[in-house]
Amino acid sequence: MRYVAKASTVSAAATVVVLCLLAHVAGAVPINGQQDAVHARYDEAVKVFQSEDQFRSIALFQHVIDELSPDASRLTADLRRVLLRSLCFRAEALLNAEDQTQAVADLRKALVIDPDIDIDRSLSSPRFVALFDEIAAAELGVIRVDVSPPGAQIYLDGKPFGSNTTRRIAPGSHIVRAESQGFRPESHEVTIAAGTVRAVKLQLQPTSPPVAPPPSRQPTVEPVPQPAAPEPLSRDTGSVSSGPPRRVMVRLDGVWGMEGPAWSSSAVFSLYNKNGYADSEYVVQDALGGLGYEVGGWVRVIGPLIVGASRARSTLLFDAHVEYSVPDARPNYSSRSLAADISDITRTINATHVDIGVTGGGPNFEVAVYAGPSRATITQAVITSGVFREDSGHVTLSRALYRDFAIAGQSGWSLGGEAAYLFGKYFGLGASFRYASYNAVLPDVGTAAFPLHAGCLTFGGGGRIRF
| DSSP result, 309-339 | EEEEEEEEEEEEEEEEEEE--STT--EEEEE
Lowest mean per-residue pLDDT among 13-27, 416-430, 440-454:
13-27
**What's the pLDDT at 462?**
95
Q: What is the pLDDT of residues 276-312, one digit of tens each?
A: 444 555 555 556 678 899 999 989 888 889 999 999 9
Please tell me which of 48-62, 205-219, 243-257 the model is most confident about, judged by mean pLDDT. Answer: 48-62
Report whether pLDDT(381) > 60: yes
The vertex-231 CA angle with 39 and 82, nearest 5°, equals 10
More confident residue, 253 or 257: 253
Provide CB contacts within 8 A for 267, sequence distance 6+. 281, 282, 283, 284
Lowest mean per-residue pLDDT among 108-112, 179-183, 248-252, 406-410:
406-410
Cβ(283)–Cβ(320) below 8 Å: yes
Q: Which residues of 227-264 are buried (b: 16+ CB within 10 A; e: fewer)?
A: bebbeebebeeebebbeeebeebbbebebebbbbeebb
**What's the pLDDT at 11?**
46
**What's the pLDDT at 28?**
43
The vertex-187 CA angle with 186 and 189, nearest 5°, equals 155
Q: What is the pLDDT of residues 171-226, one digit of tens each?
A: 889 898 989 888 989 888 989 888 888 888 888 889 875 556 666 565 555 665 66
Specify the DSSP class assigned to residue 424. Answer: S
**What is the spatial distance between Cα 71 and Cα 354, in angstroms, rounded to a whole number?**
57
Sheet holding 172-179, edge to edge: 159-160, 153-156, 172-179, 186-192
Q: What is the pLDDT of residues 22-32, one digit of tens each?
A: 444 444 445 56
Q: Which long-range contacts (CB under 8 A, 24 or more apart) does 305-308 make?
A: 305/356, 305/357, 305/358, 306/355, 306/356, 306/357, 306/358, 306/359, 306/368, 306/370, 307/355, 307/356, 308/249, 308/354, 308/355, 308/356, 308/357, 308/370
Q: What is the pLDDT of residues 282-291, one digit of tens each?
A: 555 556 678 8
**What is the spatial distance between Cα 389 and Cα 260, in angstroms, rounded to a whole number?**
32
Cβ(323)–Cβ(338) below 8 Å: yes
3-state secondary structure of 150: coil
**What's the pLDDT at 365?**
82
**What's the pLDDT at 49?**
86
Lowest mean per-residue pLDDT among 40-49, 104-113, 178-187, 320-329:
320-329
In Å, what is the CA distance from 221 to each residue of 145, 198, 218? 10, 7, 10
**What is the spatial distance between Cα 367 and Cα 466, in angstroms, rounded to a whole number?**
13
Handedness of CA 444, 445, 448, 451 (dihedral sign): negative
Handedness of CA 152, 158, 161, 165 (dihedral sign): negative
Question: Residues 412-422: what's their mean pLDDT?
Answer: 91
**What is the spatial distance between Cα 318 and Cα 286, in angstroms, rounded to a whole number?**
6
3-state secondary structure of 408: strand
Nearest to 358 by CA among 370, 348, 345: 370
Specify the DSSP class assigned to residue 71. Answer: G
Report whether pLDDT(326) > 50: yes
Sheet holding 141-148, edge to edge: 166-169, 141-148, 197-203, 220-223
